[in-house]
Amino acid sequence: MDWEVVFKFITASLVSVGAGGALVFALSSWLGKVWARRIIAGESHKLNKDLEKAKRELDVIKETTLKFQNDKIVIYRSAIDIVSNLLAAFDADEMGRLTPEATAHHFEEFNRNRIQVYGYLAMVAPQHVMDAQDQLMDYLLLISSKAEAYQWKKVRELALNMLNAIRVDIGVDKGPITYNGIL
C-alpha cells in the first residue's frame, strides 16, 4: 500500500465520520430543543396552575379578612353608641336633670347595656381593648352604685383610653388621641 491510498482511506474515513457526526449533532440538538420545549411547557402549565390556585386562596383570605375587619368596625360602633348613651345618662343624672325614677331606670339600662357591650367586644376585641373597656365600665358601675363620685375628667380619660385601644386594633392610627379642650 502506498501513501496515496492510505491518505485517501484516512480522508474518506474522516469525511464519513465527520458527516455522520454532524448529522448526529444536528439531530441531537434538534431533539434536545424539542424535549426542552415540552419540559418547559409542562412546568409552565404546572406553575400557572399553582399560581391560579394561590390567587384563589389569597382572594378567599382577603375577603375573609375584609369581612372580619368590617364586622369588627360595626361591633365597635355599636359598643361606642351604647357607651355614649350611658355617658349621656350619667351626665344628665349628675346635672340633676333626671328624676330619681328616671335615674334608676337609666342605671338599670346601663347594667343591661354594659353586659351587651362586653358580649359584642368579646367576639372581636383583643385583650387590650377589653381591659380598657373593663376599666371604664368598672368606674361607671362604682358611680351607679354610689361607691364613687362622678368625675367627668376621669370618665373622659377612661373613654379615650378605650377609643385609643380600639383605634390601635383596627389600624386607624397607632398614635393616641387626646382631649385638648378646656373642660
pLDDT digits over 62-94, tens only? 998 888 888 899 889 888 888 888 888 888 878
149 three-state secondary structure: coil
pLDDT band at 31 (very low <50, low <70, confident <90, very high): confident
Cell matching residue 181 = 379642650
Contact assessment for residue 139 and residue 148, using Cβ atoms and an 8 Å cutoff: yes
* pLDDT tens track for 100-130: 888 888 888 888 888 888 998 999 999 999 9
Q: Establish how many alpha carbons lie within 13 A of residue 33's alpha carbon, considering only the half-sphere containing its beta carbon.
A: 5
Is it the case that residue 156 has pLDDT exceeding 80?
yes
